[in-house]
Structure 1
Amino acid sequence: MMNANSIYRPVSGLNLLKRIGNDPTERNSIILDALARIEEIDPQVRAMTAITRQEAAIAEATAAKGPLAGLPIAVKDIFDSVDLVTCYGSPIYEGYQPRSDAAIVTQLRRNGGVVIGKTVTSEFAYMAPTVTRNPCDMSRTAGGSSSGSAAAVAAGMAPYAIGTQTGGSTIRPASFCGIAGYKPTLGMLPTVGMKCFSWSFDTVGLFAAGVTDVAYLAQVLSGRQLAVNASTAIPVFGVPENYPWTAPSENASAVLDTAVRAIERAGGRVRRIRFSSWMADMIKAHDMIQSYEAWRALGYEYDHHRADLSPKLAGFLNRAADIDTVTYANACLLMEEAKGKLSELFDGVSALLTPSAPDEAPDGLGSTGDPAFNRNWTLLGCPCVNVPGLWGTRGGPVGVQVIGRPWEDARCLDAAAFVEQAIAVFTDDHPSK
């Protein structure tokens, strides 16, 4: 059920690659289409902070070699870029021009991607609201902190975008904007040249129209075999009976139930599971570790530019200053112990399945939403995929989250693709869902 106030139009990167083939004129056409789309709708969506000049983008596309073949890609403005200003979402760095690209930007260029522009981020990728509007409903938030990256893909400005996740900053905006979002295993993609918030959790995230598209980009950037294959293995999904954090809304619960029915109809299996008590302990551990590290990572900005920080971030850092090293060390120990218990969560299942967020995107731009369904998986380093395709009762997307064991990203992406296909077939037969 699409909201009437929508300019949702994601474009498949794999379809564009088929269109390009070996024709360099098609590369230029795709770049020009992307720039025209940005010019047309970004004044309303406000997803972009900087846009590559047409001449430079065409030149880069013409010279591009590699598996991305000149595709336009948007990059969150938390990553350094040598040819576009990098502000990290803060007035402190207004007009800042790095002398080098972040490692992930270099990977994009080495593989033929064209950085079409930089996208809006919450201030230093924390939780302060941004100006970006949700292409599915322009009266709502696109989420955060990777609001611009998710919105750029959902609105058809670029087939791919780079974001990050420290709590829920990839999966949640992907859910709100009705696209695929992928948070890899911690450490799979490089964070060098990314403004650090929490070195234990900061993870590069990827956005695309669908799961197959995002898996292809992940394979290109990681060098690992991650592209979705025609696996004959029947996945088994563990679905929690309850959660030690924010309960899902009736809306999100109904969407999850629809996904379960679609999976079972497609031949997949579902097992109900219960979280052990240590999962609740991880909620506080995430907060302690992130707070301690952010107080140090943003120490310069806090000490020298405190007046330029938003009240939300300044208040968070004020509280973070009280976390002592013993508390931090104990939280890190709990985290490592929990990682050793992950096998019990995945015993007998291919992946876990939960809502990606507690509900549809909130109305207005006053909040980026609640990352409760994402934080523990970020702490545990698990790969996660937002699977799009289902909509809530208020007309906005609600994603389901597929979660895998660390370093089993290929299996996680395959399972997510199974869910996406199952949902597509189910909703074709039940169009009211």
Structure 2
Amino acid sequence: MNIRQTATVALASEPCDLGATEAAAAIAKGALSSRELVESCLARIAERDGEVRAWAHLDPEQALADARAADAVPPKGPLHGVPVGLKDIINVAGMPTRFNSPIYPDYVPVADSACAAMIRRAGGLILGKTVTTEFANRHPGPTMNPHNRAHTPGGSSQGSAAAVADRQVPLGIGTQTSGSIIRPSAFCGIVGYKPSFGEISRVGVKPHSGTLDTVGLCGRSVADVELLRAVLVGIPYEPVAPSGLKLRVALCRTAEWEQAEPSTRDAIEAAARLLAEAGAGITELELPEAVFSGWQDDHRRIANFEAARSFGHEKRLFLDQLSRDFYEGRVRDGERCRVEDYIASQRRAEAMRVWIEGAMEEIDLILTPAAAGEAPAGLAKTGDARFNSLWTLLYTPCVTLPFGHGPAGLPLGLQLVGRRFEDERLFAIAAAVESLLGQG
């Protein structure tokens, strides 16, 4: 395995190859028009999406009209003229939201989600809606991994991750309840970001679990994701200077470490060695069994208990149109859960958050796998979320960086975990790690 190289889709020198920060800067300087960028993205989609199948809804004429409108006015914000793809559980006024479910073939929201509204306010464009699994759950959509169509692109934000990786759009928005930002980003070889819980508004996003759902972002670099995060949080965009690498890094193998593929374990340990050579102090972080034992059951119980209530309308009126995967794996399981067991799991989750908050007073970064390995073959399953769900449960911010390849030549990912509500600090560290690991 060439540990310092990441898998890439073959590129041409076209505007669609630009990252979001590069494109935004070029548009602001007048060196590129939004129309040229959108035309290039649409051409890439026309060329490639018959194979990748990342889009649930696309209106090229509307996208070009929005781009011409952006070119006709002075820059409105840091994302001016840059297109973004939104997961098809996120409302965009005038665009259908279908949730990859036959229940909603014709639902067209009249109001933007908070995400869509903030993008427009910053001058950005909504290029279209990206494919999701059914209601952002288990039953997969048609999207394929852009690096190898015989392999899954990952979890429920699969369309966003695949479209960004394939240079069809510079930025994508998805959601994570278990691992649906970090895992597909790792499988597709891009940067994924799950923020601290609650940092980005979920208004206008189809809810699954009110205490776990998190809006997340996909981009081609840490800087690109940082730009979109500033827009969605509603803060001035000021690029964070990369942190020095004299960091306190904790390698966290978790109890599931042996279930990771050898290539993933090798990549994590190689990254730790490179960080140590660059001046970081490397320690091991062991999660105490007394606090963390049974965390997977707690995550499942919380997610499914809440899903059984969130989807009350669909199960009451459209039960026969829910997939067996979704109904039996999520809804029925949540219906069987007693409220006292749900509360007990919530209390244990709070204890885990208290413990990790204290542990992170002594470290700057947790280094851990982003997924068990490279994207598995086949499209019927989206991969294992066990290396993501814990950090979702803990409410910590996470960034995945592409790092190395698995035995089939597909991307592997590192997961960098920061302290809750210290997302800016995590970006500074991730930028430095990205710079180091991109060498050679």
TM range (shorter): over 0.9
Is 1:23 aligned to residue 34 of structure 2?
no
Residue matched to 2:384:
370
Equivalent residues of 2:243, 2:429 under 8 A apart: no
Structure 1 residues 10-19 or 199-208, which shifts more? Answer: 10-19
Distance change >3 Å, CA 47–CA 311, structure 1 → 2: same
What's the RMSD between the two structures over aligned residues? 2.1
Unaligned 5+ segments in structure 2 are none
Residue matched to 2:259:
247
Distance change >3 Å, CA 246–CA 83, structure 1 → 2: farther
Residue matched to 1:219:
230
Paired with 2:104 and 2:348, the residues of 1 have a C-alpha distance of: 36
3-state SS of 1:270 partner:
strand
Residue matched to 2:314:
301
Paired with 2:134 and 2:253, the residues of 1 have a C-alpha distance of: 35
Equivalent residues of 2:6, 2:403 under 8 A apart: no
Residue matched to 1:39:
46
Structure 1 residues 160-169 or 209-218, which shifts more? Answer: 209-218
Q: Percent identity?
A: 35
Q: Residue deviations 1:146-194, cap 9 Å, x none? A: 0000000000011111010000000000000000000000110000000
Tell me by how many angstroms 1:269 deviates: 2.4
3-state SS of 1:140 partner:
coil
1:119-268 paired onto structure 2 within 5 Å: 119-224=130-235, 227-232=239-244, 234-244=246-256, 247-268=259-280
Distance change >3 Å, CA 8–CA 135, structure 1 → 2: farther
Paired with 1:5 and 1:273, the residues of 2 have a C-alpha distance of: 32
Paired with 2:299 and 2:306, the residues of 1 have a C-alpha distance of: 11
Equivalent residues of 2:92, 2:116 under 8 A apart: yes
Which one-letter code corresponds to 2:98 in the other structure?
Answer: C
Paired with 1:173 and 1:289, the residues of 2 have a C-alpha distance of: 23
Paired with 1:199 and 1:273, the residues of 2 have a C-alpha distance of: 29
Tell me by how many angstroms 1:246 deviates: 6.7
Residue matched to 2:438:
424
Which one-letter code corresponds to 2:294 in the other structure?
Answer: D
Tell me by how many angstroms 1:232 deviates: 3.8
Equivalent residues of 1:237, 1:271 under 8 A apart: yes
Paired with 1:264 and 1:283, the residues of 2 have a C-alpha distance of: 31
1:78-157 paired onto structure 2 within 5 Å: 78-157=89-168
Tell me by how many angstroms 1:312 deviates: 0.3
Paired with 2:240 and 2:413, the residues of 1 have a C-alpha distance of: 19
Tell me by how many angstroms 1:354 deviates: 0.5
1:394-409 paired onto structure 2 within 5 Å: 394-409=408-423
Is 1:279 aligned to residue 292 of structure 2?
yes
3-state SS of 1:116 partner:
strand
Distance change >3 Å, CA 314–CA 226, structure 1 → 2: farther
Paired with 1:388 and 1:206, the residues of 2 have a C-alpha distance of: 15
Equivalent residues of 1:182, 1:384 under 8 A apart: yes
Equivalent residues of 2:138, 2:156 under 8 A apart: yes
Paired with 1:227 and 1:22, the residues of 2 have a C-alpha distance of: 18
Residue matched to 1:57:
66
Which one-letter code corresponds to 2:295 in the other structure?
Answer: M
TM-score (normalised: structure 2): 0.92
Tell me by how many angstroms 1:24 deviates: 8.0
Q: Residue deviations 1:287-334, cap 9 Å, x none? A: 111111000001111121111111100112122210121111111111
Off by >6 Å, runs of 4+ in structure 1: 1-5
Unaligned 5+ segments in structure 1 are 429-433
Tell me by how many angstroms 1:414 deviates: 1.6
Equivalent residues of 2:399, 2:417 under 8 A apart: yes
Paired with 1:258 and 1:337, the residues of 2 have a C-alpha distance of: 32
Which one-letter code corresponds to 1:176 in the other structure?
Answer: F
Paired with 2:18 and 2:89, the residues of 1 have a C-alpha distance of: 24
Structure 1 residues 377-386 or 312-321, which shifts more? Answer: 312-321
Paired with 1:393 and 1:179, the residues of 2 have a C-alpha distance of: 18
Tell me by how many angstroms 1:52 deviates: 3.0
Aligned match for 2:347, one of 327, 333, 354: 333
Tell me by how many angstroms 1:415 deviates: 1.7
Aligned match for 1:385, one of 399, 418, 423: 399
Paired with 2:45 and 2:182, the residues of 1 have a C-alpha distance of: 23
Aligned match for 1:313, one of 320, 326, 330: 326
Structure 1 residues 201-210 or 212-221, which shifts more? Answer: 212-221
TM-score (normalised: structure 1): 0.93
Q: Residue deviations 1:122-147, cap 9 Å, x none? A: 11111212210111112111001000
Paired with 2:263 and 2:122, the residues of 1 have a C-alpha distance of: 40
Q: Residue deviations 1:328-358, cap 9 Å, x none? A: 1111111122222123432421010001000
Paired with 1:3 and 1:168, the residues of 2 have a C-alpha distance of: 21
Paired with 1:421 and 1:6, the residues of 2 have a C-alpha distance of: 20
Paired with 1:405 and 1:200, the residues of 2 have a C-alpha distance of: 18
Equivalent residues of 1:172, 1:371 under 8 A apart: yes
Which one-letter code corresponds to 1:379 in the other structure?
Answer: L
Tell me by how many angstroms 1:60 deviates: 4.2
Aligned match for 1:12, one of 10, 19, 27: 19
3-state SS of 2:316 partner:
helix
Residue matched to 2:87:
76
Distance change >3 Å, CA 242–CA 320, structure 1 → 2: closer
Equivalenced residue count is 426
Paired with 1:247 and 1:345, the residues of 2 have a C-alpha distance of: 24
Tell me by how many angstroms 1:104 deviates: 0.7
